[in-house]
Amino acid sequence: MIGLSGFDVARKLTILARQFEIPLSLEEVSANPLLPSELSAQFNRDWNKYDSYFEHLIVNAKRQGQVLRYVATLNSQGQANVQLKAFPATHAFANLNPADNVVQFKTSRYRDNPLIVQEPGAGLEVTAAGLYADLLKMSRSLLGWLGKIMPIAP
């Protein structure tokens, strides 16, 4: 039930926040479970009984031209949450490969066209290492680009 509780997604968000030196603890992430509490206790035993619950969510999203994704959000004030959200079919989160992780950065620079990083997400080490490696590459690239405009003293 860890995946359905939001714990795994919350843990990934905490790792990423710490890489940005945001002192976020796992306990500070508000995780809304994928299943309502009244369903989660019975889900493993009677999972097929709850097809209609998910079918209703999926049909409503499709009617609006959207797909459902279980996502984590961290804002500039350090507020973090995990919840099921609907996204338009054109959104980067809508077209994931199975087991992929996608991170979207909205900043003052990337406000209208967010920066997207997509990595395989098979396990804690792969996720953390992949995202961290990409962040290092981006920072090196940015420093190189800034150095061309404004030389950086050693």
Give catalytic residue positions: 12
Largest distance between two CA atoms of the chain: 64
Q: How far is 5 from 96, CA to CA, in rounded Å?
A: 21
Q: 98 in helix, strand or coil? A: coil
- Cα distance from N-terminal residue to C-terminal residue, the chain: 50
Q: Is 90 left (phi over 0), alpha (psi -120 to 50) or beta?
A: alpha
Token pair 């992929």 is found at 100
